[in-house]
Amino acid sequence: MNDMTDHPTDDLTDDAVSTDLLDELANLASPPPAELTEGLFDRLFDRWLTTESPLGPVLVAYTGRGVSFVRTSALVPGEQFLETHRRRFGRPLRRADSTPAGLVDALWGRPGSVPEVDLEGLSAFEHDVLAATRTIPLGQTRPYAWVAREAGSPRAVRAAGSVLARNPVPLLVPCHRVVRSDGSPGQYLFGPETKQQLLSSEYARAHDL
Amino acid sequence: MNTTARRAHSAPDATTADPAGGREADDAIVELREALVYDLDEGFARLVGAHQAVAYSVALRTTGHRADAEDLLAESLLRAYRALRGYDATRLRELQPRPWLLTIVVNTRRNQVRDAARRPRADGAEPPDRPSTERSVEDRAQDAETSDELAAQLARLTDVQRTAVVLRHVVDLPIDEVAEVLGCPPGTAKSHVSRGLSRLRALMTPPDGVHTAATSRSNP
């Protein structure tokens, strides 16, 4: 009966029942199931990697649900990308040891299976704008008004443009294919010239096929 | 009784808890703090590795349900991460990781229960994300997953008594850390533990009165 020394701060450890009770309580400390331990890090930590794209080197972050953030190294270099991501998503990051299936092809606009994108945390309108934009095929463009209409808010043309200006996953959601109604390219996250180059090269590829 | 076996069970994060069951080993704490100062994300990974077992045990025994415990653990850890982002180096170097993290687990649980109680119930339709917080701890403790009687009886304590007993006797925290997590003086924490134990003892006494010691205590 060494519970007196074991738990000197408890007053009720001096009979057989409480000793058994304390032992039973201690036995309730169950280690987490192995799959939890393995899954916990994936659940907590987003992954990041760098890869090549038509925009030059890009940094890409993804969660267990899909790709969540894409930025060019030129615009948001290394450590700044990580910090921007943490501020925007409030989640820790670790370097990825593999590349999500289909990511590279999707960045280059090649046909094939596209990776999931994780748009968690966006509003319904933001989500709908990005979903509509994602359906615009390679080599084609749509006006901002079309996107607003597809997103169910035909009058929210300017708001749709603002959503695209903050697109977390450019290239994967091809916001560069959304242009002004007069056909001019309009603004782009990475600059209007880049947008025009991207559209020209996509148009050429789509029509050579 | 076998205290060695109890230690093995009750100190799942044995690598960072000192063998006497007291405060975490100073070296491990200092290393962890420096890791957090140097690279928050890497330091956070170490914090998770060092304390996920104790945090999971507390989550499991306060929710009474494994899926809830996993969700609670993940949510608490993300909250912890967001809090750490706002701390400067001075604050990080003063961090007592284990009681600090367990405080977040306990408070997050309290918020979940409060939010679930406030949420209006649509005719039996449960929100998909957190269905189980709609049900009481008692209901869930009786699920097949929690077959253990003691675990079920824990659910019948008041929240503060359950938390106090779990912290002190399931995960073997010293009383000053229990007090820190509960946000009360050590004397008050001690009395929550004592009352929780008395209640548990009464609840665990079978009607046929086999455990005479406990029976005589509750029915003198």
Contact B61/B170 with Cβ under 8 angstroms? yes
CATH fold of B16-119+132-218 reads: Butyryl-CoA Dehydrogenase, subunit A; domain 3 (1.20.140)
Residues of chain B with pLDDT > 90: what percent? 57
B139 contacts B147 by C-beta, under 8 angstroms = no
Q: Does A34 touch chain B (CB under 8 A)?
A: no
Q: What does the pLDDT read at residue A60?
A: 96
Tell me the C-alpha distance between B70 and A5, whole Å.
Answer: 34
Please tell me whether residues A128 and A194 are part of one structural domain: yes
pLDDT value at position B180?
96
pLDDT digits (tens, 9 = 90+) for A23-35: 889 888 878 888 8
Strand, coil or helix: B1:
coil
pLDDT, tens only, B6-18: 444 444 444 444 4
The verdict on A148 and A103 lying in the same domain is no
Long-range contacts for B20-25 (Cβ within 8 Å, ≥24 apart)? B21/B172, B21/B174, B22/B174, B23/B96, B23/B174, B23/B177, B24/B96, B24/B97, B24/B98
The answer on A90 and A151 residing in a single domain is no
**B148 contacts A15? CB cut-off 8 A:** no
Same domain, A103 and A154: no
DSSP labels for B74-132?
HHHHHHHHHHHHT--HHHHHT--HHHHHHHHHHHHHHHHHHHHHHSPPBTTBPPSS-GG
Output Rg (C-alpha) for chain B, integer angstroms: 19
Question: Measured between CB atoms, which of A2, A6, A40 is closest to B48?
Answer: A40
pLDDT at A125: 96
In this structure, the answer to whether residues A138 and A200 fall within a common structural domain is yes
The answer as to whether A88 is a domain residue is yes
pLDDT tens by residue, A111-161: 777 899 999 889 999 999 999 999 999 999 999 999 999 999 999 999 999
User: Both A97 and A162 in a single domain?
Assistant: no
Measure CB to CB from residue A19 to each of B1, B166, B204 and give the nearest one.
B1
Domain membership flag for residue A55: yes
Residue A43 is nearest to which of B44, B53, B74, comparing CB atoms?
A: B74
**Same domain assignment for residues A146 and A203:** yes
A34, B56 contact by CB (below 8 A)? no
Indicate whether A34 belongs to any domain.
no
Calculate the alpha carbon distances from A84 to A77, A113, A121, A168, B99 in Å: 10, 29, 16, 11, 30
CB pairs under 8 A between A and B: 117
A71 pLDDT tier (thresholds 50, 70, 90): very high
Q: Which chain A residues have a beta carbon less than 8 Å from that of B194?
A: 10-12
State the smallest CA–CA distance between residue B7 and chain A in angstroms: 8
Catalytically annotated residues of A:
175
A156-165: long-range contacts, CB 8 A cutoff, minimum separation 24: A156/A125, A159/A125, A160/A129, A161/A186, A161/A187, A163/A125, A163/A126, A163/A129, A163/A130, A164/A129, A164/A130, A164/A133, A165/A189
pLDDT in tens, B28-83: 999 999 999 999 999 999 999 999 999 999 999 999 889 999 999 999 999 999 99
Q: What is the DSSP letter of B169?
A: I
pLDDT on residue B34: 95
Q: Are A165 and A196 within one domain?
A: yes
Domain count, chain A: 2
pLDDT interval class at B136 (50, 70, 90)? low
CB contact under 8 A, A44 and B81: yes
Predicted pLDDT at B32 = 95
Low-confidence winner among A40-44, A178-182, B139-143 (lowest mean pLDDT): B139-143
Asked whether residue A15 is assigned to any structural domain, the reply reads no
pLDDT of residue A170: 95
Tokens of B217: 């205590």
Whether A196 shows a pLDDT value over 90: the answer reads yes
Q: How many Cα neighbours within 13 Å face the side chain of A176?
A: 25
Mean pLDDT for chain A? 87
Asked whether A89 and A42 are in contact (CB, 8 A), the reply is: no
Q: Are residues A63 and A99 in the same domain?
A: yes
**Does A17 reside within a domain?**
no
Same domain, A64 and A101: yes
Cα radius of gyration (chain A): 26
**Mean pLDDT for the stretch of residues B118-133:** 51
Gap between the Cα atoms of B94 and B185, Å rounded: 20
CA distance A28 to B51: 17
The predicted pLDDT at position B133 comes to 46
| A153 is a domain residue | yes
What is the domain range of residue A152?
124-208
CB pair distance less than 8 Å for B56 and A32: yes
Domain annotation covers residue A97: yes
pLDDT score for B215? 40
Band the pLDDT of B142: cuts 50, 70, 90.
very low
Tell me what the pLDDT averaged over chain B comes to: 79
- Looking at residue A151, which CATH number applies to its domain? 1.10.10.10
**Cβ-contact A129, A174 below 8 angstroms:** no
Contact of B53 with chain A, judged by CB distance below 8 Å, is answered with yes
